[in-house]
Chain A
Amino acid sequence: MLRLIARRLASAVPLLLVATFTLFAMIDFIPGDPAVALDNGDPSLIPYIRASLHLNEPLYERYGRWLLDAIQGNLGTSYSVAHPSVTSLIGSAAPITLSVFALAIVISTVVAFTLGIIAAIRVGRPLDRVLSALFALFVATPSFWLGYLFILWFGIDLGWLPVLGYAPPSAGLWQWLSHLILPSVTLAPPLTAQVALQLRGGLIDAMGRDYILSARAKGLREWAVVGKHALKNVGAPVATVVGFQIANLLGATVIVETVFGLPGIGNLTVQSAEGRDVPTLLGLVLCTTLLVVAVNLVVDISYGYFNPKVRTA
């Protein structure tokens, strides 16, 4: 098991190197000089700014410098007005995004398992077809539209939940949670649909296998047949889908955080792209890619739980 983890970690390193270097090289093509943007209207400062940002060095030297700093947790200085460090910007935004993620994943897993199992048991019946249409709708609905519908219905018309901003956990557990519920519910549908569809397909497949027949033959109750035998064999592909969807979830969070005014990773990305704040964008890409790699690592490790044959690999 440890060897599996070590090997996966080792294979993630070249991936991150290629990814960040591609981006670093692409950013070099940006027209315009960041020093000009930072000189506060005083052109005589430009040479000093260029020197302090190491803009006169060749690409590979700058990349090497950035990489060495990044390994030590220093992602450079943002180009935005107050020049905060990128690490602190991302550090303060990440917990918000991660808590929305956690809640969204919990919500969609619970809903997806319920609906997916129902669809698989009722395969081909009207209920299954209704659910299939619902899943397609879940994927096709733009998340920001859903966000605003929720704001309109639950925030403005019913007044149940706050619609804007964020409250830290120190402001009280309910305060904190109430600001996260609507964003998480808005993020959940596409993930729910993908997990439920995978679960449905896998379950239908598994229910026709011999081990299910033998489980039934030895007189197990239906819930034990589905829950213990069929479901565990569907675990690996379902976990794979969750791993794939993390990258999409990160994309959706950019829009959802803008809708709900949450100062998380997504909001930071939009601000940095608007301000052409390259160091922050680079740091964001590195951190989000790390997150995707980490989640997929957990997914890979979970294969060992679902399928003991993988453990020795």
Chain B
Amino acid sequence: MSEGNVGSIEVDDSIGRADDGARRMPRTGRKHRSYRGLVALAWLVIVIICAVVGRYFVPFSPNAQDLVHAYQAPAWGAHLLGTDQFGRDELSRLIVGSRVSLLAALIGTSTSMVIGVPLGVFAAFVGGKFDAMANFVINSLMAFPAIIFTLTVIAIIGTGLVHAMIAFGIVISPIFFRISRASVVNVQAETFVEASSSIGCSRWRIIWRHLLPNSLTPIVIQATVVSGVCIIAEAGLSFLGFSVQPPTASWGGMMSTAAQDIFQGSYLIYFPGLLIALTVLALFALGDRLREALGGTGKLGGF
């Protein structure tokens, strides 16, 4: 079972051992798990719908202030989840705020993939000194604590959602370097790669038609997990004030205002965090389910 890899963003060989041992596990709970994958997917679809068209069906305008009705506790009728310090409707802000988390996942994950995957594939394909060098530099980058390095990069390129997530994407790109390199090295050992090079396929054709498609599974699985990591990171950066700026609604930013109002409106603190946790959990579960569906260890995939 692949629970062993939940949320592990490290591509460590020893982590795979959890899968080896788990094979002896009785194969009960199969149904239970596919059910879990479906629930996770359903939740993610809801979040995506909220992010894309949410602002057209929110009960209140998310930024409309109504100071007379500030700090209203959740109640049936008017404000389902209450109002914040400016009397803004919490539910509407949560719905619209999903947009920021989704964008964060997209920007962060694609940045790190754009940097990590080509480098990893290239390093594995070329091998030799370049591979050794790239490996060394990447390992050096892995020694940096991600958030501290991200804050340094943000100090360089500036704040805001896009900047913050590009910075984070750069910092975590070693994850994709390592996983794509490892899986290309695995695929390269296959006979069909040797066969295609022996019939005279060009290097690019081998990379595009053979290496890349066959190494994609672990990369895709990792991308779902990294999306979750990006959402947590964005929430943290919003919370610290380096990402989305007020009054734009974001789950991390709402946490931060709720924290300042902890005495007046303690109910405000529960929902943003709950939504972040649920969404990240759903992404991890989806990654898990994909790993199961596409082939056990996530090393080569089921092709």
How long is the Cα–Cα vector from A205 to B19 in the complex, in angstroms? 9
At the interface, yes or no: A100 with Cβ under 8 Å from chain B?
no
At the interface, yes or no: A70 with Cβ under 8 Å from chain B?
no
How long is the Cα–Cα vector from A298 to B143 in the complex, in angstroms? 15
At the interface, yes or no: B194 with Cβ under 8 Å from chain A?
no
> Which residues in chain B, 137-187, are within 8 Å of chain A measured between CB atoms?
137, 139-149, 151-156
| Cross-chain contact of A129 among B15, B29, B154 (Cβ < 8 A) | B29
- B240 shortest CB reach to chain A, Å: 6
The residues of B that contact A274 with a CB separation of less than 8 Å are: 241
- B264 shortest CB reach to chain A, Å: 12
How many residues belonging to B are interface residues under a CB distance threshold of 8 Å?
66
> Which residues in chain B, 6-40, are within 8 Å of chain A measured between CB atoms?
6-8, 10, 12, 14-15, 17-22, 24-26, 28-29, 32
At the interface, yes or no: B71 with Cβ under 8 Å from chain A?
no
At the interface, yes or no: A270 with Cβ under 8 Å from chain B?
yes
The residues of B that contact A250 with a CB separation of less than 8 Å are: 145, 147-148
| Chain A: CB-nearest residue to B20 | A205
At the interface, yes or no: A181 with Cβ under 8 Å from chain B?
no
How long is the Cα–Cα vector from A237 to B241 in the complex, in angstroms? 37
* Contact status A197-B258, CB under 8 Å: no
* Contact status B262-A137, CB under 8 Å: no
> Which residues in chain A, 15-32, are within 8 Å of chain B measured between CB atoms?
15, 18-19, 22-23, 26-27, 29-30
| Chain B: CB-nearest residue to A26 | B156
* Contact status A140-B155, CB under 8 Å: no
- A189 shortest CB reach to chain B, Å: 11
How long is the Cα–Cα vector from A194 to B8 in the complex, in angstroms? 7
| Cross-chain contact of B240 among A30, A140, A194, A254 (Cβ < 8 A) | A254
* Contact status B266-A152, CB under 8 Å: yes
* Contact status B240-A148, CB under 8 Å: no
* Contact status A205-B17, CB under 8 Å: yes
* Contact status A255-B266, CB under 8 Å: no
How long is the Cα–Cα vector from A61 to B173 in the complex, in angstroms? 30
| Cross-chain contact of A136 among B145, B156, B284 (Cβ < 8 A) | B284
Instruction: Say yes or no: A149-B273 contact (C-beta < 8 A), given A140-B228, A255-B240, A273-B152.
Output: yes
How long is the Cα–Cα vector from A123 to B24 in the complex, in angstroms? 10
At the interface, yes or no: A80 with Cβ under 8 Å from chain B?
no
At the interface, yes or no: B285 with Cβ under 8 Å from chain A?
yes
Is the contact region of chain B dominated by helix, strand, or loop, or is it mixed? helix
How long is the Cα–Cα vector from A151 to B260 in the complex, in angstroms? 12
> Which residues in chain A, 272-295, are within 8 Å of chain B measured between CB atoms?
272-274, 276, 278, 281-282, 284-285, 288-289, 292-293
* Contact status A208-B144, CB under 8 Å: no
- A197 shortest CB reach to chain B, Å: 5
* Contact status A288-B155, CB under 8 Å: no
- A306 shortest CB reach to chain B, Å: 12
| Cross-chain contact of B21 among A27, A202, A251, A259 (Cβ < 8 A) | A202
Most buried by B among A142, A143, A203: A142
* Contact status B262-A151, CB under 8 Å: yes
Is the contact region of chain A dominated by helix, strand, or loop, or is it mixed? helix
* Contact status A15-B284, CB under 8 Å: no
At the interface, yes or no: A9 with Cβ under 8 Å from chain B?
no
* Contact status B6-A197, CB under 8 Å: yes
At the interface, yes or no: B263 with Cβ under 8 Å from chain A?
yes
The residues of A that contact B20 with a CB separation of less than 8 Å are: 205
How long is the Cα–Cα vector from A23 to B171 in the complex, in angstroms? 12
At the interface, yes or no: A78 with Cβ under 8 Å from chain B?
no
Please, what's the 1-or-0 string for A176-204, where 1 marks a CB less than 8 Å from any CB in chain B? Answer: 00000000000000100110011011111
| Cross-chain contact of B12 among A146, A149, A244, A269 (Cβ < 8 A) | A244
| Chain B: CB-nearest residue to A275 | B155
How long is the Cα–Cα vector from A270 to B154 in the complex, in angstroms? 11
- B160 shortest CB reach to chain A, Å: 14
- B6 shortest CB reach to chain A, Å: 5
* Contact status A124-B29, CB under 8 Å: yes
- A9 shortest CB reach to chain B, Å: 14
How long is the Cα–Cα vector from A151 to B281 in the complex, in angstroms? 24
* Contact status A140-B281, CB under 8 Å: yes
* Contact status B255-A144, CB under 8 Å: yes
- B33 shortest CB reach to chain A, Å: 9
* Contact status A140-B277, CB under 8 Å: yes
* Contact status B25-A124, CB under 8 Å: yes
* Contact status A19-B143, CB under 8 Å: yes
* Contact status B236-A139, CB under 8 Å: no
At the interface, yes or no: A248 with Cβ under 8 Å from chain B?
yes
How long is the Cα–Cα vector from A76 to B136 in the complex, in angstroms? 28
| Chain A: CB-nearest residue to B279 | A140
> Which residues in chain A, 154-193, are within 8 Å of chain B measured between CB atoms?
156, 190, 193
The residues of B that contact A273 with a CB separation of less than 8 Å are: 151-152, 154-155, 242
Please, what's the 1-or-0 string for A236-255, where 1 marks a CB less than 8 Å from any CB in chain B? Answer: 11001100100110111011
> With contacts A123-B25, A194-B8 known, what are 12 further pairs, Cβ within 8 A?
A18-B137, A22-B140, A140-B7, A141-B277, A198-B18, A201-B22, A204-B24, A205-B17, A205-B21, A251-B146, A258-B239, A292-B145
> Can you name 16 A-B pairs with beta carbons within 8 Å?
A26-B153, A136-B3, A137-B281, A142-B232, A142-B255, A142-B273, A149-B269, A198-B4, A237-B15, A251-B146, A254-B147, A254-B240, A270-B240, A272-B155, A278-B155, A292-B144
Closest 9 CB pairs of A and B: A201-B18, A145-B273, A205-B21, A251-B147, A139-B7, A250-B145, A204-B21, A273-B151, A140-B280
